[in-house]
A and B are shown apart, each in its own frame.
Chain A
Amino acid sequence: MSASDVSPTAPGSDVLDSPMQGVWPPTPAMLASPVDPDLSRAQAKRLRKAWETPRGWRHVTAVNNTHVGKWYAMTALAFMLGAGVLALLMRIQLAVPENGFLDSDRFNQFFTMHGSAMMFLFAVPMFEAISILLLPALLGTRDMPFPRLSAYGYWCFLIGGIFVLGSVLFDAAPSSGWFMYPPLATESEGIGADIWLLGLSFIEVASIAAAVELIVGVIKCRPPGMRINLMPLYAWYVLVVGGMILFAFPPLIAGDFLFELQRSLDWPFFDPDRGGDPLLWQHLFWIFGHPEVYIIFLPSIAIAAMVVPTAARVPIAGYSWIVLSAVGTGFLSFGLWVHHMFTTGLPALSLGFFSAASEAVVIPTGVQIFAFLATLMVGRARMILPMLWIAGAVAIFTAGGLTGVMVALAPFDWQVHDTYFIVAHLHYTLFGGMVFPVIGGVYYFFPVIKKKKLSERLGRWSFWLCFTGFNICFLPMHLTGLLGMPRRVYTYQADLGWNALNLVSTVGAFVLALGILVFVWDLVRPKRHEPHTPRNPWGAGTLEWTHDVPDEPWGVRSVPYITSRYPLWDQPELLARMDAGRFYLPDAPEGLRETMITSAVDAVPLHVARLSGPGWSPLVAALFTGGAFILPTFKIYTPAVICGLLAIAAILFWLWTATARIPEKPFKDGGLGLRLPTYVSGPKAPGWWAVFITMLGDATGFASLVFGMFFYWTARPDFPPPDSPHADPVLSGIAALLFGAAWAATRLARGLNAAGLIGAARGSLLAGPLLALAGCGALIAAILHLAPQTHVYPAMVWALVIWTVSHVLCGAIMQGYCLARSLAGRMTAQYDADLWNTTLFWHFLLATCLIGTAMVALIPRAM
């Protein structure tokens, strides 16, 4: 190792714009010098005070990742159990032919809700929960970068989940299948479909919030020295999955938006009589739906990537290969969506593209399995309990993957489409790819979470019950499907040869349920009288095992300096130094919650971020956001709008009081001779990255609408109809110019503000929203003569305008917010993070506005 290798800040090396002052990296002598025990105790006391969790009824205002993560995980588990009960009830109904246990409508509600809840209320939220809970521990950081955003996401999830799953108790649940195909779902009576659309859109917002949080967490909150090649593999998977959520969920939100416009206002997006096309929904749904499968699978297999090296007692074999696997799967999973639509009559050529991509994704997916096996082979593997679950997971997932290779071939899929073969296939992938690794992960990480160990005996019972029960239930379904039994039928005749197979599946389902119950009992049984776990019971090498036993609220006592992939194996003094407060941020002299922000690739310390503490605003904002989404289900519009406004007010209050606070001093001592800025703005700030990431997702949603316009153009010979009126070109042009001017005003304000011309900046920030609002008026006036109920073309134009205008209104609020911050002295020439973020938002918004007006006024004339 050459000297230049270990000191990246040597002159001419790669840290050019870091504003830190002092020594980096720390010298061995600095790391070895002891900390005065009295000082350490005093520091710990201050730190404990700063990170104290509110007690009593104020406990609900807690935002610590350890608390929010636990609530999140337990809520997702509860929803999973509810959805599992629905499955058992369906299995009872199907146990014998011509059974009358459930009627057809209730059966329809149950399978719809089983699928929807398992996907939206269990699998994806469980990833978010586990990541929020564990990521800071894995990265040796204090908390997630936006603790209140996690809390907001959790409360949205809880409210939305209870609303959606609760509907099944009132016989009001959606009943058109978890993918809500029109026309069945657009025509369905009652409010079930609306509950699905609005309730799940609401939860998707929470998912995107979590994705933003997790991506920023991985790229900006790693401990100093943890370069990208040293990052735990779990963090790699989180990064990939966060990115996937950004590109997968927005198309569904765009689809929900069109769908709900059709259901409430009768705009004919999916109605072929008026130019619409039900297939657009299938496209938008599965552009979401297939990546979703990998969004569920990757973070769960990431748990395996943490357990396997510990079980094998060697570092993971093929780290780069696993990164390839995660990233490659993340990309290729976006080229598979049409394999859910092989029977819709699309041209053979299109089917061929997606069939080919579906086969190609096997390569990266398989690579990681082989890497795990290689690690076990080169190591001295112990079959610890978590490893048993992972081994079961790999076996089951591989079987599911092999049937996946079969159904990716269009001709085979035509034979088994919508049969129990598919039910068997998808449960093999999801149990092997999600349920088993997650339970294994709970057994593995439980000592970090609760400082106790789960029962070895109950764990092995649970595993063998689940494993045998699962296979008894789902293995016969392959055959049931090949014998022709369709999915989603509430009963069947006795003479079709399916009786014995169905009975066996039902028995298996109950054995599986028993196994899950044993696990849940192990999880929730009182453990007050049991001793604390040792700190590192499995002998693992990664940072989460530096956790404090008994629990401390601060995440880590001091933020370590990392030089290895397995610091606990390779850095022998690490734990003692962390505990003594030898490393970074060992103190909280200002009584504030702080964490270290480092550079994205090399984890060079950049900034001490002040995190937001407990507060009511996330909870209140989530309640009103819930009202805004839930009330329209019941056609209660005015209170819904009021809720929406109150939600915006609550969020503004939260931002105003808790974000971009001007620090008492521009630099502070970060420990180990390092002085770091306490406030940064622009691309150095985590908040700027959060806006950037959010807007990438938002742009994907908008692109989905634009895709819709082109989709109709290729799918329908009469789109746009030859005699249809178009948007007014002059007014549209004026709107585009006004939007451009509003963008320029924002950008100008940032420059003026930074130059100290505060008055001029304020003037520009005042002009901005006025220009933006005038632009909205012009754009609406340009299309007022188009009647959206008559044909899909005017409806699509209106949808684009609604999307654009609502975003411009957000942009105007942000401009006004910056103006108010400036007037209140909370934003100055030096402390201008709000204005940087608003400008970034407006960069994206300008693209939306220009493309939007072009799609409305220009492109259709050329079609």
Chain B
Amino acid sequence: MAQRHRSLWHMIIAPVIWALHFLAVYCFSAIVCAKAAPFGWAQGGVLAMTAVALALIFWQAVLAWRQWDFLDDGDHVHERPTATSRREFLGHAGLLLAIVSFIAVTFVTLPVLFVGDCR
């Protein structure tokens, strides 16, 4: 946990999950469609990947929320020169990134629900 508190990498895990999900969804559906497999496979596969991605992002959001520790002191500015302020800042930014990533993953999944086939 202590590692997470001073790590830039942890802050960007959620958008990295978005990127991997995006790439996986795009490649998977392209391959399924190009190799003439049924559209249902693409649909099912994408939804499964989305479920995994959303679960992981949610988990990151929970960790980031704990790291931010907002309810403890109500601090959302984090401008002090302290380890606490830095930790809470990284948690706050990580949480916001997780929220945006969650929305973006949901957005990217919508086409498989609306588009009926590979054309």
Assess the B33–A349 pair: CB atoms within 8 A.
yes
User: Is A276 close to B, CB under 8 A?
Assistant: no
Q: How far is the CA of A690 from the CA of B2 in the complex (A)?
A: 27
Assess the B22–A353 pair: CB atoms within 8 A.
yes
**Closest residue to A322 on the B side, CB-wise?**
B93
Within 8 A of B (CB), among A690-748: 710, 714-715
Chain A contacts for B92, CB-based, 8 A: 320
Assess the B6–A601 pair: CB atoms within 8 A.
yes
Assess the A230–B96 pair: CB atoms within 8 A.
no
Assess the B107–A360 pair: CB atoms within 8 A.
yes
Within 8 A of A (CB), among B1-55: 2, 5-8, 11-12, 15-16, 18-19, 22, 25-27, 29-31, 33-35, 42
Q: How far is the CA of A230 from the CA of B85 in the complex (A)?
A: 10
User: Is A335 close to B, CB under 8 A?
Assistant: yes
Chain A contacts for B81, CB-based, 8 A: 6, 225, 227, 230, 562-564
User: Given A347-B119, A352-B115: A360 and B103 within 8 A (CB)?
Assistant: yes
**Quick one: which of A225, A334, A359 contacts B107, CB cutoff 8 A?**
A359
User: Is B90 close to A, CB under 8 A?
Assistant: yes
Chain B contacts for A601, CB-based, 8 A: 6-8, 86
**Quick one: which of B22, B34, B89 contacts A357, CB cutoff 8 A?**
B22
Chain B contacts for A160, CB-based, 8 A: none
Which bucket holds chain A's interface residue count?
Answer: 35 or more
User: Is B97 close to A, CB under 8 A?
Assistant: yes
A2 vs chain B, min Cβ distance (A): 8
Stretch at the interface among A59-67, A325-333, A758-766, A838-846: A325-333
**Quick one: which of B8, B15, B80 contacts A331, CB cutoff 8 A?**
B15
Assess the B97–A327 pair: CB atoms within 8 A.
yes
Chain B contacts for A1, CB-based, 8 A: 80, 82
**Quick one: which of A348, A363, A563 contacts B119, CB cutoff 8 A?**
A348
Summed over the interface, the residue pairs from A and B with CB atoms below 8 Å come to a total of: 143
User: Is A399 close to B, CB under 8 A?
Assistant: no
User: Is A323 close to B, CB under 8 A?
Assistant: yes
User: Is B71 close to A, CB under 8 A?
Assistant: no
Assess the B97–A328 pair: CB atoms within 8 A.
yes
Within 8 A of B (CB), among A286-320: 315, 319-320
User: Is A518 close to B, CB under 8 A?
Assistant: no
Q: How far is the CA of A13 from the CA of B83 in the complex (A)?
A: 9
**Quick one: which of B16, B76, B83, B109 contacts A5, CB cutoff 8 A?**
B83
Within 8 A of A (CB), among B69-119: 76-86, 89-90, 92-93, 96-97, 100-101, 103-104, 107-112, 114-115, 118-119
Assess the A228–B8 pair: CB atoms within 8 A.
yes
**Quick one: which of B2, B33, B78 contacts A319, CB cutoff 8 A?**
B78
B contact face: mostly helix, strand, loop, or mixed: helix
**Closest residue to A5 on the B side, CB-wise?**
B82
Q: Mark A561-585, 1 if CB is under 8 A from B, else 0.
A: 0111100000000000000000000
User: Is A641 close to B, CB under 8 A?
Assistant: no
**Closest residue to A354 on the B side, CB-wise?**
B26
**Quick one: which of A14, A351, A363 contacts B103, CB cutoff 8 A?**
A363
User: Is A686 close to B, CB under 8 A?
Assistant: no
**Closest residue to A358 on the B side, CB-wise?**
B107
Assess the B8–A714 pair: CB atoms within 8 A.
no
Assess the A228–B103 pair: CB atoms within 8 A.
no
Chain B contacts for A5, CB-based, 8 A: 80, 82-85
User: Is A8 close to B, CB under 8 A?
Assistant: yes
**Closest residue to B7 on the A side, CB-wise?**
A601
Q: How far is the CA of A307 from the CA of B73 in the complex (A)?
A: 30
User: Is A266 close to B, CB under 8 A?
Assistant: no
User: Is A364 close to B, CB under 8 A?
Assistant: yes
User: Is A602 close to B, CB under 8 A?
Assistant: yes
**Closest residue to B11 on the A side, CB-wise?**
A327
Assess the B108–A353 pair: CB atoms within 8 A.
yes
Assess the B19–A331 pair: CB atoms within 8 A.
yes
Chain B contacts for A414, CB-based, 8 A: none
User: Given A14-B6, A327-B15, A602-B6: A357 and B107 within 8 A (CB)?
Assistant: yes
User: Is A600 close to B, CB under 8 A?
Assistant: yes
Assess the B79–A564 pair: CB atoms within 8 A.
yes
Q: How far is the CA of A715 from the CA of B33 in the complex (A)?
A: 10
Assess the A356–B111 pair: CB atoms within 8 A.
yes
User: Is A99 close to B, CB under 8 A?
Assistant: no
Q: How far is the CA of A352 from the CA of B79 in the complex (A)?
A: 41
Chain B contacts for A352, CB-based, 8 A: 110-112, 114-115
User: Is A321 close to B, CB under 8 A?
Assistant: yes
Within 8 A of B (CB), among A535-564: 562-564
Q: How far is the CA of A355 from the CA of B96 in the complex (A)?
A: 22
Q: How far is the CA of A332 from the CA of B107 in the complex (A)?
A: 12
User: Given A332-B18, A360-B104: A6 and B82 within 8 A (CB)?
Assistant: yes
User: Given A331-B15, A600-B8: A229 and B114 within 8 A (CB)?
Assistant: no
**Quick one: which of A6, A227, A331, A348 contacts B86, CB cutoff 8 A?**
A227
A351 vs chain B, min Cβ distance (A): 8
Assess the A320–B96 pair: CB atoms within 8 A.
yes
Assess the B8–A321 pair: CB atoms within 8 A.
no
B75 vs chain A, min Cβ distance (A): 11
A290 vs chain B, min Cβ distance (A): 13
Within 8 A of B (CB), among A790-825: none
Q: How far is the CA of A418 from the CA of B19 in the complex (A)?
A: 29
User: Given A334-B19, A353-B25: A363 and B2 within 8 A (CB)?
Assistant: no
Q: How far is the CA of A331 from the CA of B57 in the complex (A)?
A: 15
Chain B contacts for A328, CB-based, 8 A: 15, 96-97, 100-101
Chain B contacts for A563, CB-based, 8 A: 81
With a 10 A CB-CB cut-off, give which of B25, B27, B90, B96 has the most chain A CB atoms: B96
Chain B contacts for A600, CB-based, 8 A: 8
Assess the B30–A714 pair: CB atoms within 8 A.
yes
Q: How far is the CA of A1 from the CA of B82 in the complex (A)?
A: 8
**Quick one: which of A229, A348, A715 contacts B78, CB cutoff 8 A?**
A229
User: Is A373 close to B, CB under 8 A?
Assistant: no
User: Is A324 close to B, CB under 8 A?
Assistant: yes
User: Is A350 close to B, CB under 8 A?
Assistant: yes
Q: How far is the CA of A1 from the CA of B35 in the complex (A)?
A: 62
**Quick one: which of B26, B83, B103 contacts A350, CB cutoff 8 A?**
B26
**Quick one: which of A4, A332, A562, A565 contacts B104, CB cutoff 8 A?**
A332
Chain A contacts for B27, CB-based, 8 A: 710
**Quick one: which of B80, B84, B97 contacts A324, CB cutoff 8 A?**
B97
Q: How far is the CA of A600 from the CA of B86 in the complex (A)?
A: 12
A205 vs chain B, min Cβ distance (A): 25
Chain B contacts for A6, CB-based, 8 A: 81-82
Chain A contacts for B42, CB-based, 8 A: 349
**Closest residue to B112 on the A side, CB-wise?**
A349
Chain A contacts for B110, CB-based, 8 A: 352, 356
Assess the B103–A327 pair: CB atoms within 8 A.
no
**Quick one: which of B79, B101, B107 contacts A229, CB cutoff 8 A?**
B79
Q: How far is the CA of A350 from the CA of B96 in the complex (A)?
A: 27
Q: How far is the CA of A390 from the CA of B27 in the complex (A)?
A: 40
Assess the A715–B34 pair: CB atoms within 8 A.
yes
Known contacts A349-B118, A352-B111; 12 additional CB pairs below 8 A are A14-B5, A315-B79, A324-B100, A331-B18, A332-B18, A332-B100, A335-B22, A347-B119, A355-B111, A363-B100, A601-B86, A715-B34
Can you list 27 A-B contacts with CB-CB less than 8 angstroms, sorted by A residue number?
A4-B83, A5-B80, A6-B82, A8-B83, A14-B5, A228-B86, A230-B81, A319-B89, A320-B92, A323-B93, A324-B96, A328-B96, A328-B97, A328-B100, A332-B15, A335-B19, A335-B22, A349-B112, A353-B26, A359-B107, A360-B100, A360-B107, A363-B100, A363-B104, A565-B79, A601-B6, A714-B31
- The 5 A-B pairs with the shortest beta carbon distances in the complex, nearest first, are A352-B111, A229-B89, A5-B82, A324-B96, A563-B81
- Residues on A close to B: CB < 8 A? 1, 4-6, 8, 13-14, 225, 227-230, 315, 319-321, 323-324, 327-328, 331-332, 334-335, 347-353, 355-357, 359-360, 363-364, 562-565, 600-602, 710, 714-715
